[in-house]
Amino acid sequence: MEGIPERLAAKPSWLITQLATHARRLSAAGHEDARAGAYHYRILAALREFGAQSQADLGRRGNLDRSDVVAALNELAASGCIERTPDPADRRRNLVRLTDAGVDQLHRMDRSLDRVQDELLGPLSADERATLTGLLTRLLAHHRTS
């Protein structure tokens, strides 16, 4: 079987979306023991690095829709990873706080995600990995601000 149509193989948008599918597959496999998905990781990461904050802030920092934050927080609360308390300073908001169990969960996911990066970048040298992440970071910053 001859390979993939040139029209596809030559398009960066094809390369990126196809590689993203592989990245998702690898991440899902890495997370299967943690029983958590990408949304949960983004939230735990934002909580760890920026401290207790509102659900809206979590959504902005992790690039999540407010409604998706709600669902993910429900699951994280059910497994004891976070706690929701009304913000006394602004009664519209919930203050979301990371529990010790949440920190443990984050570290577990960190370790499996580190392994995932290695599988994902497979054949690339350290220099090439740095070049790639540099280019991707610039592109992402461009699309985030424009």
Asked if 145 touches its own copies (CB under 8 A), the answer is no
Helix 100-121 vs helix 38-50: angle between axes, to the nearest 10 degrees? 120
Binding test (CB under 7 A) with DNA, winner from 8, 17, 115, 139: 17
Per-residue tokens: 95: 């203050």
Instruction: Tell me which stretch binds its own copies (CB under 8 A): 49-57, 67-75, 79-87, 96-104.
Output: 49-57
DSSP line for 65-90? -HHHHHHHHHHHHHTTSEEEEE-TT-
Cβ burial, residue 72 (10 Å; 0-12/13-18/19+)? buried
Task: Let me know: does 63 contact 78? Beta carbons within 8 Å.
Answer: no
Binding mask 78-97 for its own copies (x = CB under 8 A): --------------------
Is 48 or 84 the residue whose CB approaches DNA more closely? Answer: 84
Q: Which residues bind its own copies (CB under 8 A)?
A: 1-13, 15-24, 26-27, 38, 42, 45-46, 48-50, 57, 60-63, 110, 113, 116-117, 120-124, 128-129, 131-133, 135-140, 142-143, 146
